[in-house]
Amino acid sequence: MKFEVILKGLLALLLLILWSCNEGILKTGEQSIYSLIINDVAQPIPPLPPPPLGKESVMSMPKEIIDSLEQISLDVAIAPFFNISKTNLNKQKIDLEYHSVIDLLFSKDTIHIISDEMIGLQKKHRVDVINEAELRDKKRLFEHFDQLIYLSNITFNAERNRAVVYVGWTREGRLAGGTLLYLLKREGKNWFIEDVRELSIS
């Protein structure tokens, strides 16, 4: 009888450890995905406009300047999307692995919630998750932040090796902003950005 109690106790402890490890892996994966996106979106200057159709771009910067700009640390405000606008995204050129995940993201009728824990510590930029009240006063917001990034919650496929995130970004006082769809893939324990689709730009 005593042996059975000890065995049940050990099994319960093992299950708790496995559950904790799994929760840790999920949180780490979530933080890795958001870090990749924040570092990709947060730039000291907006991307150069595309060249006219059929012409090569004449607007370019020396690699040394680009490298130095990429080292600049920004103050970035993070806010959740309160609703996601459905888009006429052409999925024909997107890997089939992502189609059902994209459909799932845009079919969700939910408020997206982003927390400091989900974002985690960022190595490059100073990041702060803001609330709805702070978001209303954009003028005051941009007195403290260089850029505002909106994030949806992450939508995974069943195997949790593909993910999509709906992203918006804007800067104060410039016609600079837009929405993007990030497609991410996991290999082993590591996530990387496989593709980014521009949905709108202003």
C-alpha to C-alpha distance for 82 and 88, rounded to whole angstroms: 20
Q: What is the pLDDT of residues 100-117, one digit of tens each?
A: 999 888 886 666 788 888
The token pair at 167 is: 């992203």
24 band by pLDDT with thresholds 50, 70 and 90: very low
pLDDT at 35 over 70: yes
Which of 46, 44, 42, 47 minimizes the C-alpha distance to 77? Answer: 42
Closest to 127 measured CA to CA, from 136, 117, 119, 139: 119
Instruction: Flag whether pLDDT at 60 surpasses 70.
Output: no
- Give the model confidence (pLDDT) of 122-160 as tens digits: 667 888 998 888 888 888 888 889 899 999 999 999 999
DSSP secondary structure code for residue 179 in this structure: E
Is 19 in contact with 12 (CB distance < 8 Å)? no
109 versus 55: the higher-pLDDT residue is 109
pTM value? 0.74
Specify the pLDDT at position 22.
38
Which tokens is 81 given?
Answer: 């999307």
> Distance from CA of residue 15 to its chain's centroid?
31
For residue 121, list its beta bridge partners: none
Interstrand relation of 75-80 and 177-187 (parallel, antiparallel or unpaired): unpaired
